[in-house]
Amino acid sequence: GGMAVVYRVRHATLGTRHALKVLSITSSDVKERLIQEGRVQATLRHPNVIGVSDVLDVAGAPGLLMEFIQGPALDHWLHNYQPSVEEALTIFRGIVAGVGHAHSKGLIHRDLKHANVMLHVDEHGVHPKVTDFGLAKLTDSGDKRRTRTGTTMGTPAYMSPEQIRDASTVDRRADLYSLGCILYELVCGCT
């Protein structure tokens, strides 16, 4: 993305593979958001959410140590493959399960889009995993400082009209709108 680079890394002692997301922008606000993203994602233990296990310092920049996914992002997959309706619905159900888990923990993603869904491919099939909680909002924190009133945050093609007007006031319905956009792309093959 425009703010970070993701590397495939191997743990020196354990030999396990991970993804390491390292900031390429050094602003203190962006650093704080990445650390908050790590905190948020680390609390979401769910098979349809990419796990974060640590925040590391990489040459002065924060980096998120995440679960490595063997497979493409949903946007790349849809660019090369048109799923059947049943395949699309199976993937969509997994995405909804991951987002539903986040909602049950009081989190609104606010940047759901096909590029923020990774597809883990193994011998049992394709399993969607929601990622990039960098714009997530904690609904019951009472902390309004993270998002200024009147601020637009997210990806415009996936944002509800309410989120375009003011990202600080949105609730779970904003994510439902974005999920509808993802479902449309899955079924219609549009990316």
Residue 32 has pLDDT above 60, yes or no: yes
Residues 147-161 have a mean pLDDT of 69
Q: Can you give the pLDDT at residue 27?
A: 84
DSSP 158-181: G--HHHHH-GGG--HHHHHHHHHH
Kindly report, residue by residue over 70-122, the tens digit of the pLDDT: 999 999 999 999 999 999 999 999 999 999 999 999 999 999 999 999 999 98
Q: What is the pTM of this model?
A: 0.88
57 is catalytic: no
45 — pLDDT class (breaks 50, 70, 90): very high
Residue type, 140: D
Show the beta-strand stretches assigned E in 36-176.
52-58, 61-67, 107-108, 117-122, 125-130, 137-138
Q: 74, 118 in Cβ contact below 8 A?
A: yes
1 — pLDDT class (breaks 50, 70, 90): low
Q: Vertex 170, ends 120 and 34: CA angle to 5°?
A: 50
Residues 35-42 have a mean pLDDT of 88
Q: Is 4 helix (H, G, I), strand (E, B) or coil?
A: strand
* Catalytically annotated residue among 111, 122, 140, 143: 111
